[in-house]
Amino acid sequence: MQVAYALLTVEPGHEEETLAELKRIENVKETYRVYGVYDIVVRIEAENHEKLRAIISKIRHIQRIRSTTTLIVWE
């Protein structure tokens, strides 16, 4: 099982609709609205690296997301 956290910066005022869209993506297990450098933290689980990459790509293509930082869990 592959686990990753995506740290997202979104356009101001679009946090809630972005959270709703993220929750509809299969394999997105948790979403949190946070304050600080990032606006949203997403926990993703996938069967393998290829599936994880596809999910991250889908997240990166959401129009209201300005930037992403992805942390892939090693252990």
| Domain extent listing, the chain | 2-72
CATH number of 2-72: 3.30.70.920
Confirm if 8 and 18 have CB atoms less than 8 A apart: yes
Q: Average pLDDT in the 16-40 region?
A: 97
Q: Average pLDDT in the 10-29 region?
A: 97
pLDDT classification of 75: cutoffs 50, 70, 90: confident
- Residue 50 and residue 70: Cα distance in Å, rounded? 15
pLDDT classification of 65: cutoffs 50, 70, 90: very high
Confirm if 4 and 49 have CB atoms less than 8 A apart: no
pLDDT classification of 27: cutoffs 50, 70, 90: very high
Q: Average pLDDT in the 40-52 region?
A: 97
CA 49, 64, 41: angle at the middle one, nearest 5?
50
